[in-house]
Structure 1
Amino acid sequence: TLKKLDLNNNGLTSLPSTINNLTKLESLEIQYNEINSGLDLSNLELLKVLTIQYNNIYELKLNLSPTAFRGSNNNYSIQLRRNAIGCIEVPSDELVAWQLAEINEERGYIDNGVIYSDNCSAVTTNSIPDIEREALIAIYNSTKGTDWKNDLSSSYNGVPWVADATQKRNVGAWFGVTTAIINGQKHVTKIELNSNLLEGALPEEIKNLTELVSLKINSNAVNELAKEIGELPKLEVLEFNSQRNSSNSEYVLKEIPSEINNITTLKRLGLNGNQLEGNLDFSNLTNLTSLDVNSNQITGLKIGVSPNVFDGQSNGSLNFSNTFSFSSNQYLYCIAVSQNTIADWEGSSYASSYPNIVWGQDCSAYNNVPTNEIQALVDMYNNLDGANWTNNSNWTGDLSKATINSPYNATKWQGVTTEIINGGKHITQLTLNSNKLKGELPESLGNLTKIKLLYLQNNEISGVIPTSVGNMIEMETMYVNNNELTGSLPEGIKNYTKLQTLIVENNKLEGNVPDLTAINTLSSLNIRNNKFQFGDFEDEFATYKSNINSFSYSPQAKIGEDTSEDLTNADYRLDAVVSGDHNEYQWYKDNSPIQGATEASYDILSPTSADDGIYYCRITNTVVTNLTIETGKITLKYDTSLSTEDEELEKAVKLYPNPTKGLLNLNISNQFELKKIEIYTVLGKKIREIKANSGLKNIDISNLSSGMYLINIVTEKGRVVKRVMRE
């Protein structure tokens, strides 16, 4: 006598077959369970209400007319969707009534792919081909199907997929899958698995879904699309928007197969919100009316349609609007279009909304940095220990790899900025400060002729600044401070007519500073803490002080090194060799100024032990004010054992010619035994020592630069110092 049975939402996994014996039952409600079985209700001929949705029921037998469930307003008290049912068996005399009734997919009563039959076991056309079922299972397995979200509360009809090809379940009832009868055979026509935790690669078996019209896998973590996707002959909608790893929000889809350009049936292509790189070529997709590549990192885009197809109209049957979106691609400067549509694109709203985009038939110059500029970056990586930089993202020391557009063509290299200049893409900024660069700058650095901003400070760059940097005539800001650079500033820097900031402090640079007085834009110049001398910028100093807002030049390193020297009773001269026409000198002994010692040289005549002390000179300049340069400190000590009481030793040693071009003749009286010869700079730095031998007759100083040198000739009875000029 039971008339109503309500077991909904109870976690049931099955029902006993004896439920078919409840012949008086009028209402059966078992929705929202986990029933995974067939359901034979053929004896329940009084049923008026039947709700079995949200289960995994795969068979259903009824022995009623559809009118038994008809309620008011032409609605029916029956709900069968979101199950695994492929065929519902009904009485033969009621089959047509069921087929014509509105208990169908369109009204939401049954799932996609469900048919009515009076003998479901004999139905052979209601299962998709095995090769398509296997393709679906391959998708399931390669994208971690066991971890899919399968949110059945969303707008999708269906049940979890079954990764068992032997179970011929109705795939039309599977979550996100739609099927249709085409030429008497059921095929998969749509797959929509948005926000379903897919992770991994779309497999090559996708090509076997030959009737697939729509594929939407948005908001998942698919990191690779098989190139075989290009073999789908009927695909009209393809969407892989926003592929990100949910655990760390990392974008995982960074490239797509070029074979997508073979899907000429495509009308809608959605790839937004990824990190796609390189050039995308969709020039063959002449049926496109909707394209979305917004928010990527592409460097080039090629399309084969007119802007007129993107008219904003709704494509109702496929559920998209005819729009074109490509914004938020910071590296995109040019979109390649067919020759006969260039004028249309240039006159379109897209051109006015994105004035930085060039529309043309050939975008290669806009998309690719010239090879010689890439060479400069490759050389920097190799010369400056790029493998150990703090951040070297996308950098490489292989030119053949570097010239590949995706992702190595400079645009995405860490610290590199590019711009379109005179119709071509060029490197305009290089920011590698505090990045553990170690080594010498390559000569090819000068290939960056369009660079405006160079930041290389706070590294361990050594050696000279290559003269080729004079080619960087667009330079506006250069920071190379806090390195170990030596040599001079290249003269070509004076040709930086747009220079605003030049910071080279805290290096070991020396020599003439290029004349920058003609650069009206220069507002900040910092050359302090190097080895520059007054004469290196004396002529330009007044202009710099007057015209440059921030000019830093003091302090500079001392001249020469701290040394020690022995005094004899021979006269001794100290020299302060510092460039500059307006220098003033003050010599010091033991940190106290020596009265009257205000010349570039200071002579100690007939030294005695009273002359022992630490000597140095402080040099200032009446033009270059507020800068004091010191010589290295020389510690002098009178040594009686090396002194002579007369002029006998002085007369016994002859060294000539003087001045010399390099080769000195040495004559010593036989009464003195030669021990050694030492060569010093005038600032007291020993640069060579020669051990004595009986045959020593010449001293070769041809490898020394021009200037004054001290030749210390030591014998067993004392020593004598000769001053020699190397021409």
Structure 2
Amino acid sequence: MTKIELNRNSLSGTLPEELGDLSNLQKLRLQSNSLSGTIPSELGELGNLQDLGLYNNSLSGTLPSWIVSISDLQFLGLSKNDFHGTVPSEYSELGNLRQLGLAQNSLSGTLPSEYGELGNLQHLYLHENSLGGTLPSEYGELDNLRNLWLHGNSLSGTLPESIKDLSANKRLENHPYMETPILDYEVVPGESLEFDISGHFSDINDNIASYSAEGLPEGLTIDSSSGAIGGIPTTEGSFLVTVTASDDAGNVVSDEFNIDVRSTPDEAASDEVLNASDYAALLALYHGMNGENWQTKWDISSSTPPKASVVSDWHGVTVEEGRVTKIELIENSLSGTLPSELGNLSNLQVLNLN
């Protein structure tokens, strides 16, 4: 046996130590279940294991140092559990590691400077723990690093100069970047709406020069210098707004959010319109996968997001509180390529296109 993948399968109980007898196992994925207890040390006998995914369970205890005995490990996902203690510096011995996820636990202490030795590391997720101290300058030696997520901790100090110009870095170049996502807004037509988006963006050199927005409801404008959005919306509907921050060199970063303009709060609750971003993703799926040739088609005639109740009647689509939670289009003659817009379905729980 070389692979076990039982993700999202309602598993409960503890991990059996007998898993350590599967000497040829290369991939063990049990994420998004209800597993509890500690990780049995017998898994350290899996000398051929390259992929260990146990995130989004209820595993507890401290992070085991014996994992370093699995020298071929390339993916280690232990995020979103109940681990406590410190981040093991020993994991720096996993020279083949490409992705390390220890986020959303209860880890404390400081960031191990030894992780600067992980030359093959591309993705490091340590966000939403209780880590303190500074960001080690050694992380600037991670030439292949693409994602470094550290938000939701108590780190301090300045960003090391060595980390600003990593050749493969996708997040911390000398460009603007997102500090926090922009939340959706709901407003009644004729009422004033005022908010500031500048706090959601940042820049290593603190030189964001201008802001812009596309898709604002009629009556709302953005101040290009301050990032303040305000006015009195006059047109009802659900509006997908794209805001962009630019620095002096012309580098940009963008984010999307929704503004829902409703007559009354009661009407919004009883006659909910589908989230605009979700509707755009469904349209992209329909057009990108030859929806006209599906066995059971969708009614995509509306140019604006329809009521959630209407989309709930579409074949294979489940909507809860205005957001798409499930897409199940089994044996429906789909063809083509999956659209990137599916990544915007932030509430999606099930995607089944078998």
Which bin holds the TM-score, normalised by the shorter protein? Answer: 0.3 to 0.5
TM-score with structure 1 setting the length: 0.24
Higher relative contact order (CA 8 A, sep 6+): 2
Which structure has the bigger radius of gyration?
A: 1
TM-score with structure 2 setting the length: 0.43
